[in-house]
Amino acid sequence: MRKWCKYLRNPLLDGKKYLKIDDNFKMHAKAMGGYESDEAYESKERFFDKYYYNFHTGRLKFYDVYIRKLHLKKEGLILSLASGRCANELFLGLDGYQITCSDLDFLPSYSSTLKLFPEFKFEKFNILHGPTKKKYDNIICLSLIYLFDQKDLERFFLNVSESLKEEGNLILDYAGSPDNFLSYLIHDVLLKYETCGIMIANNLRGKKERVRVKHHGFRRTDREVISAAEKYGFQLINQENFAFSTEFKRSVFINKLLQSIPVIEKLLTIFGGKIPYIRMGNFAKDGGGKKSQK
């Protein structure tokens, strides 16, 4: 496990130089750009166009592809954890999947979502505080566990296990590229010094900027995630990786290079097999495994 930092250019010279990890709903909502209603809530088409098809480099479409491959029973009870705007869940709901969304609090856009999708189900829930009151056939968790240290990750798997029926499944996004040498070079070398270089160049042009370091979360290897899950009675059934060039595209320099030499993206996709941004796993609850005190 490696601490995951992001380096941000900020035009203001006041405020903190080091920003802590998001540890409450308000902080994370701000980091995600807020969850207020906007013009996208005028119709289902506009909502999905903005928050499903064209959101976060298209990663929601990869989530959907994997989940549909599992052929979950549409009549089964499904819980989504840390659902945010619930775009993936609402898109699946169009095809009859019975999904209850959840997050640490009700979003400001909750009433607007309910107007667009009258069948929308949402609960205020924190998986780290304990298991759900009722058991589910499947639990979906997307883009969450990167926020957890090891203690919280293990508490997560324990409470998810106790929230599932005996033959239930956890569909998990490992949330970020794996911790290895290539991801280290990109995040802790290239992006760090690229951001500092741009800041210096802008300051020479008269702009007043500085770099802030944001503790974004944690990167883990596949084995670290799988081992933590196995301690609490989960068995990995299958895994599929997606988005092989996403991490490279965080770089301003690489993006400019791609604009002038598009064929480079094919090479990035090959090397990106080592650092897929999306790693999806289907974990079956087997009932056996080490349990620990909460």
Q: What are phi and psi of 52, to 5 degrees?
A: -120, -60
Phi and psi based region of residue 136 (left: phi greater than 0; alpha: psi -120 to 50; beta: remaining): beta
Does the reported pTM lie above 0.95?
A: no
Residue of higher predicted confidence among 288 and 294:
288
Share of the chain above pLDDT 90, in %: 83
**pLDDT tens string 106-147:** 999 999 999 999 999 999 999 999 999 999 999 999 999 999
Amino acid at 101: C
Domain boundaries in the chain? 2-285
Q: Which of 10-14, 22-26, 187-191, 264-268 has the highest mean pLDDT?
A: 187-191
The C-alpha atoms of residue 171 and residue 60 are separated, in whole angstroms, by 14
Q: Does the pLDDT at position 96 exceed 80?
A: yes
Query: What is the SS3 string spanning the chain?
Result: CEEEEEEEEECCCCCCCEECCCCCHHHHHHHCCCCCCCHHHHCHHHHHHHHHHCCHHHHHHHHHHHHHHCCCCCCCCEEEECCCCCHHHHHHHCCCCCEEEEECCCCCCHHHHHHHCCCCCEEECCHHHCCCCCCEEEEEECCCHHHCCHHHHHHHHHHHHHHEEEEEEEEEECCCCCCCHHHHHHHHHHHHHHHHHHHHHHHHCCCCCEEEEEEEEEECCHHHHHHHHHCCCEEEEEEEEECCCCCHHHCHHHHHHHHHCCCHHHHHHHHHHHCCCEEEEEEEECCCCCCCCC
Q: Does the pLDDT at position 48 exceed 80?
A: yes
Mean pLDDT score, 28-41: 91
The C-alpha atoms of residue 158 and residue 162 are separated, in whole angstroms, by 6
Q: Identify the band that residue 288 occupies on the pLDDT scale cut at 50, 70 and 90.
A: very low
Q: Could you tell me the end-to-end alpha-carbon distance of the chain, in angstroms, rounded to an integer? A: 22
Q: Which residue has the tokens 């990663």?
A: 59
177 HSE (CA, 13 A, CB side): 23
Mean pLDDT score, 28-45: 92
- pLDDT value of residue 14: 63
Q: Does the pLDDT at position 83 exceed 50?
A: yes
265 HSE (CA, 13 A, CB side): 11
Share of the chain above pLDDT 70, in %: 96
The C-alpha atoms of residue 104 and residue 123 are separated, in whole angstroms, by 9
Which class is 2-285 in CATH? Answer: alpha beta
Query: Average pLDDT over the chain, rounded to whole?
Result: 93
- pLDDT value of residue 30: 86
Phi and psi based region of residue 135 (left: phi greater than 0; alpha: psi -120 to 50; beta: remaining): beta
Q: Does the pLDDT at position 291 exceed 50?
A: no
Distances (CA, A) of 9 to 6, 22, 27, 147, 201: 10, 18, 19, 22, 12
148 HSE (CA, 13 A, CB side): 22
Q: Which residue has the tokens 């601490």?
A: 3
